[in-house]
Chain A
Amino acid sequence: MLYRLLISCLGFAISMQAIAGEFNVALILDKAGKDDQSFNASAYRGIQRAEKELGIKFKTIEVKDAASSESMLRALAGKKYDLMIAVGFSHAGAVKKVAPSFAQKRFVIIDSEVKEPNVTSVMFAEHEGAYLVGAMAAMASKKASVGFIGGMDIPLIRRFAMGYEAGVRAVAPKAKVQVAYIGVTGDAFSNPPKAKELALLQNAQGADVIFHAAGASGAGLFDAAEDKKFFAIGVDSNQNGVKPGRVLTSMVKAVDVAVYESIKAAKNQQLPGGTTVNHGFATGGIDMAIDANNKSLLTPEMLKKANEIKAGITSGKIKVPDYYVLKK
């Protein structure tokens, strides 16, 4: 009896929502979760802003592995959710499979490309951002020797590495660039002790500026930078404040803006399906973080060079090698 009452109450509540014309968004994050202070955290900020400014309702799901993201997506799309935002390359396969069965629902995939009429892909020009911080690293390095620590060895991270190396070479053609990856599984993004050992090793071999693209593992690099007094460069979110004075800058990927903008467009029925939105310096989707924590670390020449590079890439005068294109 009580059970039936509950069910009818629930049914009533749901129909009320439908009448009010609510817009429901589901945000599917990857294993690192919404508090990774990096990539996922940025997406979460975007949806929080959308909740405040656009009055949408949302639910966040953290998926433990790629295998469960398909069933999760299917379950969400089958419910009241109008828009599913999958954050991270690991969801690409699941989105490709699920989207065709829910033609009236909209999907957004971030960091990967899925060609379906109701899917909007959002890509960032990581290689261009990495090129910019690579140039900064080369200018800040006293020994003409820099390092890169990647998380999992996947094309996305290789894209960072390739752009970074090109940026370093553009400023200092003879500089030494050490590139290393933490691992070949998803665990590589949550292994700070190993990132620290890698950073210490690279530093002992001469690198005095090290850039990471390793999610939560990056904490190990920042610790090493503090212990051995060299510079680190952050990634995805603005990490300048993690160890003020030791973080030269951060390559910021505005996932929050991308999430917010796609919710806004979808709510107004203006989200273009079957297309890929590319973010770079021109859209503000990629940038280099400058704030009170690192202002004194960047010389006027470096800032001037940074503006030159941004303008050059936007106008097409500087061509940054793209791992995605070169390895196709």
Chain B
Amino acid sequence: MDSLSLIELFLSALRFAAPLILAAVAGLYSERSGVIQIALEGFMLFGAFVGATSAHILGDGVAGLFMASGFGMIVGMFYGVLVLKLKADQIVAGTAINMLAWGGIPVVSKMLFDVTSNTPALEASERLPNWVPIVVALTVVAVTYVLIQKTSFGLWLTVAGEKPEALRAAGVSPAGVRWIALMISGGVAALGGALLSISLASSYTRNMTAGRGFMALAALILGKWKPIPACIACLLFGVCEVAQLKLQGVMIPGFGVVPVQLVQILPYAITMFLLAGVVGESRAPAKLGQS
């Protein structure tokens, strides 16, 4: 660890993990209520684009976060229309949202800025310092934990995904709970995407989420659909990423230089290893995908 302190490396891991944590929590709301959520990648991309665009136009990073989150809620409701109102297959509808983000954003971007690939770079004053994602992510996890453990909405959310008939018997509409869950899901995932473009980078770049939405889904499963364990799983991915950066090109006596490919499979290898036994059975909400 020559000139680098462990704290610095840990902060770097936290920065890597922050957008993942938000996406995983977003997935948690949706999946706990019984709706499969594979559109996290799409929500994040929408958030990254809307966030960077509004931060650029309004000249304020915080405003960008709010706009992104608001737009994410709208996309979340659109997903709700597809799967709750029109009863579309959730995997297909989720994939459709992802494709809409991959294909639709470049079109809008072309209309606004005449380039398909990125939004104009944000000035240093419009960007948010890079501790912001960490604080936002940890706050959202804490709020979610309290919400799920201590409030009646948290209970409804869980019951909507496990035994919706019980919820109905108690006079609460499972569909109503799911609508709210999807809205929160869209807003939180978009927030994660916006932090990526406003704080961790300085503009939206095409497909800049680079698979983070899917990694978040893996973290959610690894964390057994619970906020704190899912957050820890994301942190683990963050640590792997940093370890991976740190290990590249390092000489190990008797082995030679560590090949990049070997180092880069670390996060995936660890997920498989942990899921295969160490964390025990990870059980999805009973009614997941049947709403």
Contact = CB atoms under 8 A, between A and B. Distances in A.
Contacts of B241: 194, 197
A272 interface: no
A219 B196 CA distance: 13
Given A32-B206, A242-B121, 18 more contacts: A33-B106, A35-B116, A153-B261, A179-B249, A184-B264, A190-B205, A191-B208, A193-B19, A193-B201, A197-B12, A201-B12, A204-B3, A204-B4, A205-B2, A219-B202, A220-B201, A226-B124, A227-B124
B95 interface: no
A223 interface: yes
Nearest to A243: B121
Contacts of B208: 190-193
Nearest to B211: A187
27 contacts: A32-B206, A33-B106, A33-B116, A34-B116, A34-B117, A35-B115, A35-B118, A36-B117, A153-B260, A179-B249, A183-B210, A183-B264, A184-B261, A187-B210, A187-B211, A191-B210, A192-B201, A193-B201, A194-B16, A197-B16, A200-B12, A204-B8, A216-B117, A219-B201, A223-B201, A223-B202, A242-B121
Interface in B238-267: 241-242, 245-246, 248-249, 260-261, 264
Contact of B246 (A37, A201, A219, A227): A201
Contacts of B201: 192-193, 196, 219-220, 223
Contacts of A200: 12
Given A184-B260, A196-B201, A216 B248 contact: no
Interface in A196-231: 196-198, 200-201, 204-206, 216-217, 219-220, 223, 226-227
Size class of B's contact patch?
Answer: 35 or more
Interface in A262-304: none
Nearest to B247: A180
Interface of B: 2-4, 8, 12, 15-16, 19, 106, 115-118, 121, 124, 196, 200-203, 205-208, 210-211, 241-242, 245-246, 248-249, 260-261, 264
B248 A181 contact: yes
Contacts of B245: 180, 197-198, 201
Interface residues of A, number: 36
Contact of B4 (A197, A205, A216, A217): A205
A302 B244 CA distance: 35
Contacts of A226: 124
A141 interface: no
A220 B249 CA distance: 21
A180 B206 CA distance: 22
Contacts, number: 93
Given A35-B116, A206-B3, A223-B201, A187 B207 contact: yes
Contacts of B106: 33
Given A197-B12, A219-B205, A190 B124 contact: no
Tell which of A206, A216, A226 has the most Cβ of chain B within 10 Å: A216
A219 B203 contact: yes
Given A32-B117, A180-B249, A193-B200, A205 B3 contact: yes
A111 B6 CA distance: 41
A178 interface: yes
Interface in A161-195: 178-181, 183-184, 187-188, 190-194
A22 to B, nearest CB: 27
Contact of A193 (B3, B196, B264): B196
Contacts of A178: 249
A168 to B, nearest CB: 15
Interface string A57-81: 0000000000000000000000000
B132 to A, nearest CB: 13
A34 B117 CA distance: 8
A186 to B, nearest CB: 9
B168 to A, nearest CB: 43
Nearest to B264: A184
B206 A190 contact: yes
A188 B208 CA distance: 9
A32 B106 CA distance: 11
